[in-house]
């Protein structure tokens, strides 16, 4: 009996990590506030500038097994950016897989994956002094990335539409289907 309970608890925990979360009662918490992020290029990135557009926020890392997903993020940026999608990469070393300097991160991402999408400076997404966006996600939605390359889709109204774990690739049908209704013609 104990083994069965342990197995059930393990499966429930695994499901919570791997299955996408849909907006539900927590969506009543309201839209994302107009947070700013330090840009990897200097200056700031302001979420208010993207109001009215869907935004896919992804915590990234340069030294992770999922790092090749940067190619898919860039492809979404190039293909769907002209239709309104903003793809925002938020590099983080919270899982000890990021380079130690933002300039090195930018150089790596640019040279290896041709990244031109907006990127923040290295921030905390799951541990330590969380960036306010990720603190807001945790406090209002109970959501925190459990690893690198977790994805959060915000609708044009700033509501959290859906989240996905690292195992869901950026160009997957499930992500494209979630984004498509929010794109302009």
- Largest Cα separation within the chain, whole Å, is 57
**Which of 45, 47, 58, 64 does the annotation list as catalytic?**
64
* β-sheet bridge partners, residue 58: 89, 151
Distance of CA 122 to the CA centre of its chain: 14
What does the DSSP assignment read for 33-57? P--EEEBTTSSEEEGGGGTTS-EEE
Distance of CA 23 to the CA centre of its chain: 15
Distances (CA, A) of 135 to 31, 97, 127, 131, 184: 14, 21, 10, 6, 30
Q: Is 64 a catalytic residue?
A: yes
φ/ψ of residue 110, rounded to 5: -70, -50
Annotated active-site positions, please?
A: 64
């Amino acid at each position: 009996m104990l083994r069965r309970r342990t197995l059930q608890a393990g499966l429930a925990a695994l499901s919570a990590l791997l299955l996408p979360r849909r907006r539900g009662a927590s969506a009543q918490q309201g839209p994302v506030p107009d947070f700013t992020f330090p840009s990897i290029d200097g200056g700031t990135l302001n979420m208010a500038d993207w109001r009215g557009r869907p935004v896919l926020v992804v915590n990234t890392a340069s030294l992770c097994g999922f790092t090749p997903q940067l190619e898919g993020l860039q492809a979404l940026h190039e293909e769907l950016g002209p239709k309104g999608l903003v793809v925002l990469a938020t590099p983080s070393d919270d899982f000890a897989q990021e380079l130690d300097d933002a300039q090195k991160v930018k150089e790596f991402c640019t040279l290896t994956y041709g990244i031109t999408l907006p990127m923040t400076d290295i921030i905390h997404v799951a541990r330590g002094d969380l960036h306010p966006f990720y603190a807001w996600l945790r406090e209002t939605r109970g959501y925190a990335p459990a690893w690198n390359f977790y994805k959060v889709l915000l609708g044009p109204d700033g509501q959290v539409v859906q989240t996905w774990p690292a195992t869901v690739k950026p160009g997957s049908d499930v992500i494209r289907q979630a984004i498509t209704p929010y794109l302009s013609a």
